[in-house]
Amino acid sequence: GDSVTQMEGPVTLSEEAFLTINCTYTATGYPSLFWYVQYPGEGLQLLLKATKADDKGSNKGFEATYRKETTSFHLEKGSVQVSDSAVYFCALRGNNQGGKLIFGQGTELSVKP
């Protein structure tokens, strides 16, 4: 079945460092891909999405490009802030499973001043 694999955390960075969180997927058909973020004590928020190959999703300085040839959707940010400290989840959504989200295991990011 469909699955998502993320790099394991926790990831600890200094403020203004470059961030990459790797995400790869296995899916039949052509899923949409999402990054969700969960700040401490809060629910899941949609960060960005891409619905077809070569689409780039972006929001709040974060970017991810849907790469069908490598089945990847890596999350990047050029300069992280302390306020970016959170857990990040990569997810896919296909048409043939009622549209349920399949999540990766989450990657905890901690940004130090």
Partner 1 sequence: GAGVSQSPSNKVTEKGKDVELRCDPISGHTALYWYRQSLGQGLEFLIYFQGNSAPDKSGLPSDRFSAERTGGSVSTLTIQRTQQEDSAVYLCASSLVQDRVQPQHFGDGTRLSIL
Amino acid at position 111, single letter: V
Segment interacting with partner 1 (CB under 8 A) among 12-20, 64-72, 78-86, 94-102: 94-102
- State how far the Cα of 56 lies from the Cα of 88, in Å rounded to an integer: 17
CB of 81 to partner 1, least distance (A): 23
Q: Which is nearer to partner 1, 37 or 80 (CB)?
A: 37
Residues 21-60 that bind partner 1 (CB under 8 A): 30-32, 34, 36, 42-46, 49, 51
Contacts of 90 (CB under 8 A, 6+ apart): 4, 6, 21, 23, 25, 33, 34, 35, 73, 75, 103, 104
Contacts of 15 (CB under 8 A, 6+ apart): 80, 81, 82, 111, 112, 113
Q: Which is nearer to partner 1, 103 or 110 (CB)?
A: 103
CB of 45 to partner 1, least distance (A): 7
**Which residues sit at the interface with partner 1, rule CB under 8 A?**
30-32, 34, 36, 42-46, 49, 51, 89, 93-95, 97-106
